[in-house]
Amino acid sequence: MASPKVFRVALDTPLRRLFDYLPPASPPQGPVTPGMRVRVPFGRQRLIGLVVASGATSEIPRERLKPILEVLDPTPLLDSAALELLEWAAQYYHHPIGEVVAAALPKALRLGAAARESEERWELTSSGERACAEGEPRRAPRQRALLEALQQAGGWASAEALTGRLGSWREAARALTARGLIHRTERALARASAPASVHAEGPVLLPEQSAAVEAVAASLGRFGAFVLHGITGSGKTEVYLRLIEQVMARGGRSLVLVPEIGLTPQLIGRFRARFAAPIAVLHSALTDQERLAAWRDAAGGVARIVLGTRSVVFAPVPDLGLIVIDEEHDASFKQHEGGFRYSARDLAVVRARQAAVPVVLGSATPALETLQNVAAGRYTHLRLQRRTAQAQPPRLALLDLRASAVRSGIATPAVLAIGRHLEEGGQVLVFLNRRGYAPTLLCTACGWIAPCGDCDARLTVHLAARRLRCHHCGADAPLPERCPQCGFAVKPVGQGTERVAETLAELFPTVSIARLDRDVVRRRADLEAVLERMSSGETRILVGTQMVTKGHDFPNVTLVVVLNADQGLFSTDFRAPERLAQTIVQVAGRAGRGARPGEVLIQTEFPGHPLLLSLLAEGYDGFARTALEERAQAAWPPFTRLAALRDSATTAQAALTLLTEARKLASHPPRRVRLLGPVPAAMAKRAGRHHAQLLIESPERTRLHAFLDQWLPQVEQLPSARRARWVLDVDPIELF
């Protein structure tokens, strides 16, 4: 086969295309193939890019093409499967391939770090050996010392050894290299792949667990999507562990995705305790060097399990045998910042299909999209109905806020229930999705409310810190004593976790109360400390935000109080009820995990709301059925496909300009494609910028994407697109 004449390179630029380059002028040792990094000239810069394809011809005249300057990898950094996933993602999310590739690679690799751990070595050439024997070079003692050192070491030495022996030697090495007496090589350090086996046997599986393991195991070696649906504590993780064990026994490797907050030391500890095999862990808190090291372990096949948060879906895993997504409904799997807004869950399913391996989506509260995929026969539903350790499901009850006295957001029946559970030796969890002391600071004389100057939002009172803070932009100011408008005393109105904890401390003065929210937990160690005091039983009441809903095991919690269920019922975002139900089921899952049954009280002003009633009567399944019917009627996802063109600018008008022009471009959209808007976002002003969005909708995915394919390049050409900060969000999960 003739060697390719043109290489198509992905560069980290906002341009939606690949760039063609000629082969390097001085060819590297082996052939250049897709998946290798290259350094190329780009305008006045030199950029590192990734070869994605090669070909015989280019659309650009040959005389205008430039050669690759340098090939960085001796072997491909990404294999064809990984490249295929990136190309799929670039197409589906309509995002420039260069930026997609950049999002998939650790920063150190984008900057040119070696993809494999390697050792720098220096060797004598044959003329070097002769020169050394002849006592050359006589007048350069440092060069002479270097030659001798290499000769004594048997003809070569590592850079590290040379430094240890000679101190500074690089200048001498340059001079000797120029004379052809020595040369530099790079030797990949092949890390011996540690044996993989099981450290500790797991428990005997319950029948439902065995059935789930068997169903997925029967699909090893080919694609299959399985929804492992079971409440917290039903033994999902145990199912993952058994499947990973089977994959390992066949010599394969497993990829495990967990939500941001789910990647706890306990979880990693559980994997390490079970398997005597290297595990690569990738998450956002790693340093660049740590990330590189973990990526190398994954890519080199050293790791038998690759575990991590969102972006781990791009990690190379040779001989991939299984993908697991734990808490698949979790919002952190969707990238909601920056330009490349992918769903790691959806990409994981695509990757599993491309790699012909099974994928397991585990959750106590599967996303409605996922349940719809089950209903449509695309995914297999595996249920784990029973809790392990004989625990019984908690009893849920609504508590009508209008019918009882309420103190700082806690109704009297809830206070009585807390007292009763404490007396019986249980622990109590109080959930409120709002941190701080109070969401509003009000002047009762003139009606002034402390606003954020940069957002359409109120400032939250943080009483202990004596600050007013914006939870949307981070604005932070001292807490005023008096109204800046009329001088009257001001007063915090409403509840945050800080105030609820204070009230509970007054009601239960002898009981130890702790808080769990982003104000008290700034680092992972803080979280560990709070959880530890809860596990030891020292803390009796834990008041917290969303943070308390995820994955922690508190077997002695017998009562959960949800302080306000109503925020989720009447939101402009069609997904808010789904999130509310998931939260309630997840916090409810904290109750009664031990031998004692749990009780869950949900405070609401709307005890007759159909979604709450279906949740209570039939649990999450009933809720999901009702909610899916509503979605079908309103033609929302998953019964339609959405993309949002979002824009922000310094004025409300400017934010709408691009979107209005973009809409005009599509004044006659194709059949079954609709454009909705543009409209200012529900919270239009955030951090000093005004946000607006244009929705594009179609009941058919292919039509939506065909439309985007032809429309987006035109949008990009609009003069206003250059001035605006816009982004296309395919399958948006938040509409605001």
Within residues 388-427, the interface with ligand ADP by CB under 6 A covers: 388-389
User: Counting contacts by CB under 6 A, is residue 198 touching ligand ADP?
Assistant: no
User: Counting contacts by CB under 6 A, is residue 234 touching ligand ADP?
Assistant: yes
Helix or strand (DSSP H, E) at 708 = helix 701-717
- Alpha helices by DSSP H, listed for 193-308, are 207-217, 236-249, 265-274, 288-299
Residue 720's Cβ-count burial label (10 Å; 0-12, 13-18, 19+) is middle
User: Counting contacts by CB under 6 A, is residue 237 touching ligand ADP?
Assistant: yes
Question: 3-state class of 156 per DSSP?
Answer: strand
Least separation in angstroms between CB 594 and ligand ADP: 11
CA atoms of 75 and 53, how far apart (whole Å): 15
**Residue 206, contacted partner among Zn ion, ligand ADP, none, CB below 5-8 A by kind:** ligand ADP
Residue environment code for 265-296, b if the CB has 16+ CB neighbours within 10 A, otherwise e: eebeeebbebbebbbbbbbeebeeeebbbbbb
Candidate segments 216-224, 235-243, 278-286, 557-565, binder of ligand ADP by CB under 6 A: 235-243
Instruction: Write the interaction track for Zn ion spanning residues 385-424; mark x where CB under 5 A is met and - where it is not.
Output: ----------------------------------------
Within residues 606-635, the interface with ligand ADP by CB under 6 A covers: none
**Residue 470, contacted partner among Zn ion, ligand ADP, none, CB below 5-8 A by kind:** Zn ion
Single-letter code of the amino acid located at 344:
A
Selected from 27, 141, 203, 688, the binder of ligand ADP by CB under 6 A is: 203
User: Counting contacts by CB under 6 A, is residue 230 touching ligand ADP?
Assistant: yes
Least separation in angstroms between CB 291 and ligand ADP: 27
Within 13 Å of residue 574, how many CA atoms lie on the same side as its CB? 19
Please say whether the beta carbons of 254 and 323 come within 8 A: yes
Within residues 432-491, the interface with Zn ion by CB under 5 A covers: 443, 445-446, 448, 452, 454-455, 470, 472-473, 475, 483, 485-486, 488
User: Counting contacts by CB under 5 A, is residue 508 touching Zn ion?
Assistant: no
Least separation in angstroms between CB 204 and ligand ADP: 6
With respect to Zn ion, which residue has the nearer C-beta, 475 or 665? 475
SS3 letters across 119-141: EEEEEECHHHHHHHHCCCCCCCH
User: Counting contacts by CB under 6 A, is residue 238 touching ligand ADP?
Assistant: yes
Please say whether the beta carbons of 110 and 48 come within 8 A: yes
Candidate segments 99-107, 199-207, 542-550, 600-608, binder of ligand ADP by CB under 6 A: 199-207
**Residue 448, contacted partner among ligand ADP, Zn ion, none, CB below 5-8 A by kind:** Zn ion
Least separation in angstroms between CB 233 and ligand ADP: 5
Residues paired with residue 492 on neighbouring β-strands, in sequence order: 441
Contacts of 576 (CB under 8 A, 6+ apart): 567, 568, 569
**Residue 205, contacted partner among Zn ion, ligand ADP, none, CB below 5-8 A by kind:** ligand ADP
With respect to ligand ADP, which residue has the nearer C-beta, 190 or 389? 389
Checking DSSP bridges between strand 182-188 and strand 156-158, what pairing results, if any?
Answer: unpaired
User: Counting contacts by CB under 5 A, is residue 115 touching Zn ion?
Assistant: no
CA atoms of 586 and 29, how far apart (whole Å): 56
With CA atoms as reference, report the closest residue to 460 among 401, 381, 517: 517
Instruction: Write the interaction track for ligand ADP spanning residues 104-123; mark x where CB under 6 A is met and - where it is not.
Output: --------------------
User: Counting contacts by CB under 6 A, is residue 209 touching ligand ADP?
Assistant: yes
With CA atoms as reference, report the closest residue to 679 among 666, 668, 690: 690
Q: What is the DSSP letter of 78?
A: S
For residue 699, CA distances in Å to 299, 516, 535, 671 come to 39, 42, 48, 11
Going edge to edge, which strands form the sheet with 70-71? 19-21, 6-10, 45-55, 37-42, 70-71
**Residue 601, contacted partner among ligand ADP, Zn ion, none, CB below 5-8 A by kind:** none
User: Counting contacts by CB under 6 A, is residue 363 touching ligand ADP?
Assistant: no
Question: 3-state class of 717 per DSSP?
Answer: helix
Residue environment code for 214-248, b if the CB has 16+ CB neighbours within 10 A, otherwise e: ebbeebbeeebbbbbbbbbbbbbbbbbbbbbbbbb
User: Counting contacts by CB under 6 A, is residue 236 touching ligand ADP?
Assistant: yes
User: Counting contacts by CB under 6 A, is residue 35 touching ligand ADP?
Assistant: no
**Residue 486, contacted partner among Zn ion, ligand ADP, none, CB below 5-8 A by kind:** Zn ion
Going edge to edge, which strands form the sheet with 156-158? 156-158, 118-124, 182-188
With respect to ligand ADP, which residue has the nearer C-beta, 363 or 648? 363
**Residue 445, contacted partner among ligand ADP, Zn ion, none, CB below 5-8 A by kind:** Zn ion
Least separation in angstroms between CB 469 and Zn ion: 9
Selected from 83, 206, 294, 735, the binder of ligand ADP by CB under 6 A is: 206
Candidate segments 205-213, 469-477, 579-587, 657-665, binder of ligand ADP by CB under 6 A: 205-213
With CA atoms as reference, report the closest residue to 601 among 570, 627, 565, 554: 565
| Binding-site ranges for ligand ADP (CB under 6 A) | 203-206, 209, 230, 232-238, 388-389
| Binding-site ranges for Zn ion (CB under 5 A) | 443, 445-446, 448, 452, 454-455, 470, 472-473, 475, 483, 485-486, 488
